Amino acid sequence: MSGARSVTIEDVAARAGVSLATVSRALRGLPNVAPSTRARVLEVAEELKYRPDPHASRLAAGRTRTVGIAVPLPGEWYFSQVVAGAHAVLSSAGYDLLVYGAESVDDRRRFVADATSVQQRVDGLILVDMPAPAAEVEAWAEQGARLVTVGQRTEHFPSVTIDNPKAASVAVHHLLDLGHQRIGLISGGEDAPLYFTVPNERHAAYEAALRGRKIEARDEWCADGNFSMEGGREAMSALLAATEIPTAVFAISDEMAMGAISSARDHGLLVPDHLSVIGFDDHDLAAAFALTTVRQPVVEMGERAARMLLDSLEDDRPPQHYVAPTSLVVRSTTARRIRD
């Protein structure tokens, strides 16, 4: 920090009566240091509360012991969980975590376009639901960048994803199997059509599932909930204004599902008696809501991504692609359709 003229390696060297090279070696556990010397250095360092300046050492050594993680919105549940997972493994491996957010599609594109500049600051980078244009990815790979993507898969780097089509299909089939025919969809992210493929994949799976049962997917049964509780609420209101009201709704995030339920209740509908609702995520609060949902192991995904990054920092190996398991969690917001 500004004013703090801190202890340098030289101070330690002087006090220990050795050269600063020796201090450097001793402190980093390198070989070729006499045990007695090492002990003495350690002792003095401790006594002086010496901490190597990370910037100086990065400049000299080229490593930062820092990794970056970029997410669209650091405050959203999903992203905060991924960050927390990554943070946990990174910090216990002695790495610091730099968090970048890029709210709008434009911010994200800009971030990615300029990613090289952040890659300069870190040993590796985790990209969560960020665009990854082939050209950039190629360039990064050539530069020898270390990164892993979450929610998106590229050829050159390790990735952590889920099988969105399958997971969404499970959700819709759960509804179908309960006898529902008029099934609404609350989707999101219409403002991010280019790279934010999640909504599209889930939407497509929804349509495919209906088609598989020869059920029509009406436009008036699809609404955009913007991935937020409030948005889910509005989306539900919209669905409730349809000429024929759906008897079940698949919201592609739990927060939207909760908003939908709350709106349905405001409209006097009983869940699940009049309306079944299934979400996606298994949010921490889903259980309190008794929400039926498709679970994805968000924290573990962050942990996994961090671990993969750490691995790729150690040696060059072909990129692994981890597809995290999802599972249906049946609680009490879905029920068999009653004749209407």
Q: 165, 225, 139, 155: which is closest to 190 by C-alpha?
A: 225
Q: Which does 64 bind (CB under 5 to 8 A by kind): a second copy, DNA, none?
A: a second copy
User: Residue 277 and residue 293: Cα distance in Å, rounded?
Assistant: 9
Q: Tell me the window of 74-82, 126-134, 174-182, 206-214 that interacts with a second copy (CB under 8 A).
A: 74-82
Least distance between a second copy and beta carbon 221 (Å)? 21
- 44: Cα within 13 Å, side-chain hemisphere: 24
d(CA 247, CA 340) in angstroms, rounded, equals 9
**2 vs 243 by CB, closer to DNA:** 2
Instruction: From the list DNA, a second copy, none, pick the one residue 297 interacts with, judged by a Cβ distance below 5 to 8 Å according to partner type.
Output: none
The smaller minimum CB distance to DNA, of residues 22 and 119, is found at 22
- Report if residue 181 touches DNA, rule: CB under 7 A: no
SS3 of 15, please? helix
Contact 201, 231 (CB under 8 A): no
Q: Between residue 1 and residue 30, which ones bind a second copy under the rule CB under 8 A? A: 1-4, 6
Size of the site for DNA (CB under 7 A): 33
Q: Does 125 bind a second copy (CB under 8 A)?
A: yes
**Among 37, 161, 181, 237, contact with DNA (rule: CB under 7 A):** 37
- Dihedral of CA 313/314/317/319: which sign? negative
Assess contact for 184 and 192: CB atoms under 8 A. no
The minimum distance between CB 8 and DNA, in angstroms, equals 3
Distance CA 137, CA 141 (A): 6
Least distance (Å) from DNA to the CB of residue 52? 4
**E runs forming strands in the chain:** 66-71, 96-101, 124-128, 147-150, 159-162, 183-187, 222-224, 248-251, 276-281, 292-295, 321-324, 327-329
Residue 106, CA distances (Å) to 71, 95, 98, 200, 335 in order: 13, 29, 21, 19, 41
Per CB under 7 A, 119 contacts DNA: no
Taking contact as CB under 8 A, which single stretch among the options 93-101, 127-135, 158-166, 210-218 is the one that binds a second copy?
A: 93-101
282 touches, from DNA, a second copy, none (C-beta below 5 to 8 Å by class): none
Whether residue 164 contacts residue 187, with contact meaning beta carbons closer than 8 Å, is answered with no
Distance CA 283, CA 289 (A): 10
Return the one option of DNA, a second copy, none that residue 145 interacts with (CB less than 5 to 8 A, by type): a second copy
> Interface mask (CB under 7 A) for DNA, residues 57-76, using x and -?
x-xxxx--------------
Q: How far is the CB of 136 from DNA (least distance, A)?
A: 21
For 315, other C-beta atoms within 10 Å of its C-beta total 6
SS3 130: coil
Query: Where do contacts with a second copy occur on this chain (CB under 8 A)?
Result: 1-4, 6, 49, 51, 53-56, 58-59, 62-64, 66, 73-75, 77, 80-81, 83-85, 87-88, 91, 96-101, 116-117, 119-125, 143-146, 228-230, 233, 255, 258-259, 261-262, 284-285, 287-290, 299, 313
Query: Where do contacts with DNA occur on this chain (CB under 7 A)?
Result: 5-6, 8-10, 17-22, 24-25, 27-28, 31-38, 50-53, 56-57, 59-62
